[in-house]
Amino acid sequence: MQDVRVRTAVVGAGKMGAIHAKVYDQLPQCDFVAAVDINAAKAQRLADKYSCSAYTDCADILGKVDAVTIATPTVTHLTLAKAFIKNKVAVLIEKPLAANVREGKKIVSLARKNNSVVAAGHSERCNPVVQAMKRLAIEPKFIEANRISPYPFRSTDVGVVLDVMIHDIDIILSLAASKIKRVDAVGVNVIGEKEDICNARIVFDNGCIANITASRLALKTERRVRVFCRQAYLSVDYFRKSGIIIKADPNINVVKWIQEHKESGDFNMTAVNWPDLLHIEQLDIDDKEPIRLEQEAFLKAVADRTLTPEVSAEEGLAALECAQKILASVKKHKWNEQIDYGA
């Protein structure tokens, strides 16, 4: 199947569409043949840059492509995906999968009915840091994720949960590997009608607990996650693509060591060099572009149906369902209409 070249196109010539177009143009396993956007000038600019055709109507590329990336406003995802799926065109849909769970379920149902490859564009799952965690096969008990940044002036059709937190929701669901038992969340809207800051606590059936904070009103950018499990403690930075793993040194029984020194009367906390009792190592991270890894997995699944995308439509739907639970909890949480700052 390696000799199969997949004909690809990008629908949506905005920032994300341009990023996908650049990667498609670089991949040897595909031919980037079209850029589609309702704005003819934007489509043409992208087409000129990568020497492909420009269109304003998705119907014009049916029969000319094998796979497309949909990088348009979330509210358009279902309509566009439906047209391609029914015409046997594989689809990679930028996160979130759809505007709501009902539409997400329709996309998943269409994919199954038409036996089509549909991937969700959760590119953070392809972040080298996340890939490194995946190789460790850990069983987390507590996960803490923080994703904050200045206001991006994009994705104004959705709040911070569907715009930003959705990345960590997807990753946490893949790490916890369990059904959700309970969700508690609180959110605040400052700039517009949608929430700009949100904190959520997710309790899973297997006992794992996740605490997630997302904000698009911060003064700096931070994307960190900490994972506590029986095997180790992990602290990773998505933004800097770095991380550490801390384990008890396999050659030292820490509890026994402390007990022995206490019994001998020479135990001095200030004199203990704790790193000597621990095994600390840098996470082994391959510095690869997340969207390139995402597209490579997508194209492999298109060329070889025994393979699956990095994030399937079903997984994209699961993240959307969790996000909806968080938004429902945010809505349920009551804030006082007036705050007396003099109290």
- Pairwise CA distance, residues 271 & 273, whole Å: 6
Closest Cα to residue 10, out of 49, 40, 46?
A: 46
pLDDT of residue 258: 65
Structure confidence by residue, pLDDT tens digits, 190-199:
887 889 999 9
The confidence score (pLDDT) of residue 93 equals: 98
pLDDT exceeds 50 at position 1: no
> Looking at residues 37-57, what average pLDDT do you find?
97
The listed CATH number (3.40.640.10, 1.10.287.610, 3.30.70.1520, 3.30.360.10) that belongs to domain 126-289+325-332: 3.30.360.10
Fill in the amino acid letter for 91. Answer: V
Decide: 313 and 120 in contact? Cβ < 8 Å: yes
The most confident of the ranges 132-141, 202-211, 244-253 is: 202-211
Going by C-beta distance under 8 Å and a sequence separation of 6 or more, which residues neighbour residue 56?
A: 36, 37, 38, 39, 40, 43
Which class does domain 6-124 fall in? alpha beta
* 338 or 126, greater pLDDT: 126
What is the spatial distance between Cα 145 and Cα 175, in angstroms, rounded to a whole number?
Answer: 12
Bond preceding residue 275 cis, omega within 30 of 0: no
Residue 97 has a pLDDT of 96
Each residue of 284-301: pLDDT tens digit?
887 789 999 999 999 999
- Report pLDDT digits (tens) over 221-269: 999 999 999 878 999 998 888 899 887 655 556 666 667 666 666 656 6
85: closest CA among 60, 66, 104? 66
Report which of 212, 162, 206, 159 is spatially closest to residue 183, judged by C-alpha positions: 212
**Nearest by Cα to 170 from 127, 229, 206:** 127
Which of 215, 211, 189 is closest to 202 using CA atoms?
A: 211
Q: Is 53 exposed, middle or buried (0-12, 13-18, 19+ CB in 10 A)?
A: middle
Ranges of each domain in the chain: 6-124, 126-289+325-332
Where is average pLDDT lowest: 49-58, 150-159, 255-264? 255-264
* Most confident by average pLDDT, 3-12, 50-59, 245-254: 50-59
Round to whole Å and give the CA distance between 51 and 70: 20
For residue 77 the two structure tokens come to 């995802």
